[in-house]
A and B are shown apart, each in its own frame.
Chain A
Amino acid sequence: MQVFIKKLTDNRYLLPLLVVTICVWRIFVPQLPANEGLGWDGYRYYQLTVDGLQSKVLDSYLILRIFPCLLIHIILKWLSISFIPAHVILAFKIMNTIMIGLSAVMVKQIFEQYKLNPVSQLIGFTLVFLNYGVFNFTYYYPVMTDTPAFFLSIALFYFFVRGELTNVFLIGLIGAFTWPVIFAMAFALILFPEKEIAFVPLKKVWQYTISTLCLLYLLAMAYFLLFITKEKADLLFCLPINYNMLPIALAGVGVLFFFIPQVIFNQTFFNLNYYRSALNGNRIFAAFVLVIAFLVIRFSVAVNATSEYVTLYHQIKIHLVYAFQRPFITVVSHFNYFGCTMLLLLLFWKRFAAFVSGFGLGIAGSVFFCLFVFALKPESRALIFFFPWLMILMSLYIGKYRFSNLFYILVFVLNFAMAKLWLFFDYDMNTSKVLTDGTFDFPNQWFMMHLGIWMNEYVWLWLCTAVAVSLLLFIISLYKIEFHKKAVLFYKIFEPVTYE
């Protein structure tokens, strides 16, 4: 087995080729029948693809998502291919496949750069690619900007670790019109490109102060949104908030908010000398040019309407209110969509956060910002612009150690199960069986459950059970348990892998 894995990872292109092969197979699976395969959001992207910048649906939000549609628009025009839905869907599937393939090549090179051993590389590929978001959603609902965002996220990290700031700049500019948060992430990476800084733990009193402030922000926002403005989980067919379970849901989200800031608990970030050494004129100028370039392009295109999506209140609302639908719904939804990376984050968070902070304020600040603002929304696909960073960083983190075979097997089996490549959806537009709480019943729930906020209560319960069992199995695999002896965690047993 070891020899097989070594042969698989020794070649620079073999693992990426395996990923592309799976993608090519997925091109031929059926897709969501709604709007002839375009879906719902996809129908808007189809309209953007057909009419480009002349589209009547172009508003202040969609202009920030138009880049992939514009590329397909230009290519189909040049090739004189008509814009019927079937052609646009196929074009998106091909583009998505190319992007996933390129992402695989970049991930492989990142792993090579950090000298991960063959088993860790294989596990890394499992974490990044073998999940529902990459291999399933991409092809079942292809006319979206999710896969371009996935690709840009990985490209941003790749160019960052290679120190290629010009390319970080260009990815940021493309990202601004594909998935706008990527622009902010690129901005941070240009300003703080140092990727090997010392980790000095922040004083405990400051740690508790910052964590408490985050928790207070959550409590204040939750109170404001749920009891002052009386916001509800009101999207059609979504799971309504159960107010009887709200205290548990609030406690669950509160715990997450309390621990999120650990990723910036590096004393170095609170030292002025760090900023004196990290910032320089060229990079500040480049960041300034990036903002100007974005503004020039953005305001040179006329839009037909202002979308509420670009308002601060709406962004805070949609990313927080749905986290209270049910206790732990965010965690179970991210597990369902991205596989066991979510569980590994829970298990290793403290040490993982310290590891991430060693990549500098560009990475750590972006991770903190994205977790704080966006990560709580149970609609996991909305995190596709950022979760690849967590997957790659987690791969690099666990690649530092040698775990038990059971641990590696668990990662593979759980991600394989959650990717659900074996599940061919049979979404039926004509028989929408709706439950009494307004959510979809099966068989349509097989698809809706992956959109997080539309999962029904049974699915939430089953996923909670799956998360609990999986966590238990992971803990068993991480501890060396012997009768009559105190169990000890893995890193006290296994020496870190040396890189010589």
Chain B
Amino acid sequence: MSDSKTENNTEPSFKLNYATVILLLVILIPVIYTIVANLEKPQPLPLISPTVTTPAQNSNPASPIETALQVATVKPDYNSYINLGLAYYNAARYPESIKAWEKALEYNPKGELAFNNIAAAYGNMNNYDAEIEICQRALAINPDLEIAKRNMEWAKSMKNKK
């Protein structure tokens, strides 16, 4: 390493250059975003399982409920109603989302994710007792369902805070 194989102008120093500016921006953007987001104080949302995405949903994100309704009408099955419930849920229409997921359960009575999602919706309506009870039903079907475990823990902690 003692031969002259490196360039001479690489002595260590705290110099600034364009890379420093880019790195500072990369750090500052999340920091500023976090501060602004904290000022708005958003409520943490309960976990909800990711669902099967249809091409129609991708191409028309402006009206996800209509799209999901159309899909559920044309192809009524477990996944379609899971998606419909999710669309309602994302629009904060929790009672309708619960109905959609209950409909999904008609197609798959052991759909643990539907139970979990119903529980999450109840949690968003501050009905933590219902959330805990329905999470237990999801866990009775699949004891390893982490998402339901965490939702149940969250509901219990929120219930204690009340």
Interface residues of A, Cβ cutoff 8 Å to B: 35-36, 38, 43, 46-47, 51-57, 67, 70-71, 74, 81-82, 84-86, 113-115, 159, 161-167, 169-171, 173-174, 193-199, 282, 286, 297, 301, 355, 358-359, 499
Are A84's CB and B13's CB within 8 A? no
- Complex-state Cα separation, A282 to B57, whole angstroms: 55
Q: A54-B42, A57-B47 are in contact. Are A198 and B2 (CB under 8 A)?
A: yes
Segment with Cβ contacts to A, from B23-31, B100-108, B131-139: B23-31
Residues on B with C-beta less than 8 A from A38 are: 50
B37 touches A167 (CB 8 A): no
Please indicate the chain B residues that have their CB under 8 angstroms from the CB of A159 in the complex.
Answer: 19
Contacts A56-B154, A115-B5, A170-B24; is A163 near B13 (CB within 8 Å)?
A: yes
CB distance from A447 to the nearest CB of B (A): 20
Contact residues in B for A170 (Cβ distance below 8 Å):
20, 23-24, 27
Interface of B is mostly: loop
Alpha-carbon distance between A499 and B52 when the two chains are bound, in angstroms: 58
Instruction: Please pick, from A162, A174, A196, the residue contacting B23 in the complex, using a CB distance under 8 A.
Output: A174
Residues of B with C-beta under 8 A to A169: 14
State how many residues of chain B have any CB contact under 8 Å with chain A. 44
Contacts of B27 in A (CB 8 A): 170, 173-174
Q: Say whether B110 faces chain A, with CB atoms less than 8 Å apart.
A: no
Residues of B within 8 A of A35 (CB): 50
B interface list, Cβ under 8 A from A? 1-7, 10-17, 19-20, 23-24, 26-27, 29-31, 33-34, 37, 42-47, 50-53, 57-58, 61, 64, 90, 150, 154
A56 close to B150 (CB less than 8 A): yes
In angstroms, how far is the closest chain B Cβ from the Cβ of A93?
A: 16
Number of inter-chain CB pairs below 8 Å:
116
Asked if B20 and A166 sit within 8 Å, CB to CB, the answer is yes
A-B pairs with beta carbons under 8 Å apart, 23 shown:
A36-B50, A36-B51, A38-B50, A46-B50, A53-B37, A56-B46, A56-B150, A57-B150, A71-B26, A71-B29, A84-B53, A84-B58, A85-B53, A113-B6, A163-B11, A164-B17, A166-B16, A167-B20, A170-B20, A170-B27, A195-B6, A196-B2, A499-B3
Cβ–Cβ < 8 Å partners of A194 in chain B: 12
Question: What residues of B have a CB within 8 angstroms of the CB of A86 in the complex?
Answer: 53, 58
Query: How far apart are A286's CB and chain B's nearest CB, in angstroms?
Result: 7
Residues on the B chain within 8 Å of A198, using CB: 1-2
Distance (Å) between the CB of A191 and the closest chain B CB?
11
New A-B contacts (20) at CB < 8 Å, excluding given A81-B61, A166-B14: A35-B50, A36-B50, A38-B50, A46-B50, A54-B37, A56-B154, A71-B26, A74-B33, A82-B64, A113-B7, A113-B10, A115-B5, A161-B10, A162-B10, A164-B19, A164-B20, A165-B13, A166-B15, A167-B19, A196-B1
Chain B residues with CB under 8 Å of A282's CB are 14
CB pair A499 B4 closer than 8 Å: yes
CB distance from B68 to the nearest CB of A (A): 12
The CA of A355 and the CA of B15, in the complex, are separated in Å by 28
A165 with B53: CB separation less than 8 A: no
Inter-subunit contact B37/A52 (CB<8 Å): yes
Given A74-B29, A170-B27, verify A355-B44 contact (CB < 8 Å): no
Are B57 and A84 in contact, with the CB atoms below 8 A?
A: yes
Residue of A nearest to B90 (CB): A82
Q: How far is the CB of B7 from chain A (nearest CB, A)?
A: 6
Residues of B within 8 A of A164 (CB): 13, 15, 17, 19-20
- Tell me how far the C-beta of A112 lies from the nearest C-beta in chain B, rounded to whole angstroms: 9
